[in-house]
């Protein structure tokens, strides 16, 4: 399908955009992994000057929280943002349409297999996924943020 989108506000920089959509069927695949494309992707909103620099690290590539029963040692030294990405990757595999702006940006732009199809996937989660979500949430509360402004 192709088409054009027209903005109601003629004062915007780009009042008309063209688009082309390809039909894809959604399929849950527990084995889907994040790729190196996401490493270094920034979390912060450049318009918010008070927020510190944060970026995804390679730690997110080391676990699959949909297929592996995670243990504390698997995630205990990870940054808060990496834990958030790992936890939300579970939801992304099920086609969750993120309301969280940070997660929506990351998955839309850096995860080729991501296809948002639902706003509630809780009933589709497996027992391992539910267990891993709870473990990750406990660690997220106490984990450090990523970097200071010097990327250390």
Specify the pLDDT at position 50. 56
Specify the pLDDT at position 73. 95
Averaged pLDDT score across all residues of the chain: 89
Q: Retrieve residue 50's tokens.
A: 């008070």
Specify the pLDDT at position 148. 42
Specify the pLDDT at position 151. 44
Partners of 62 in the beta sheet? none
Specify the pLDDT at position 152. 41
Nearest Cα neighbor of 32 from 77, 99, 105, 86 is 86
Specify the pLDDT at position 10. 78
Cα 126 from Cα 106, distance rounded (Å) = 24
Cα 41 from Cα 9, distance rounded (Å) = 31
Specify the pLDDT at position 13. 86
Specify the pLDDT at position 52. 62
Q: What does the domain layout of the chain look like in residue ranges?
A: 26-142
Q: Which residues of the chain have pLDDT under 50?
A: 146-152
Q: What is the pTM of this model?
A: 0.80
């Amino acid at each position: 399908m192709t088409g054009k989108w027209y903005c109601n506000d003629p004062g915007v920089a780009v009042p008309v955009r063209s688009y082309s959509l390809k039909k894809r069927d959604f399929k849950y695949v527990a084995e889907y992994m994040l790729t190196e494309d996401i490493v270094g992707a920034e979390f912060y909103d450049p318009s918010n000057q008070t927020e510190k620099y944060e970026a995804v690290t390679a730690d997110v590539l080391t676990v699959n929280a949909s297929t592996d029963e995670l243990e504390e040692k698997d995630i205990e030294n990870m940054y808060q943002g990496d834990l958030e990405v790992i936890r939300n990757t579970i939801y992304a595999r099920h086609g969750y349409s993120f309301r969280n702006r940070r997660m929506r940006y990351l998955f839309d732009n850096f995860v080729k297999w991501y296809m948002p199809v639902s706003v509630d996937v809780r009933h589709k989660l497996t027992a391992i996924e539910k267990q891993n979500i709870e473990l990750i949430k406990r660690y997220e509360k106490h984990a450090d943020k990523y970097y200071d402004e010097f990327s250390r």
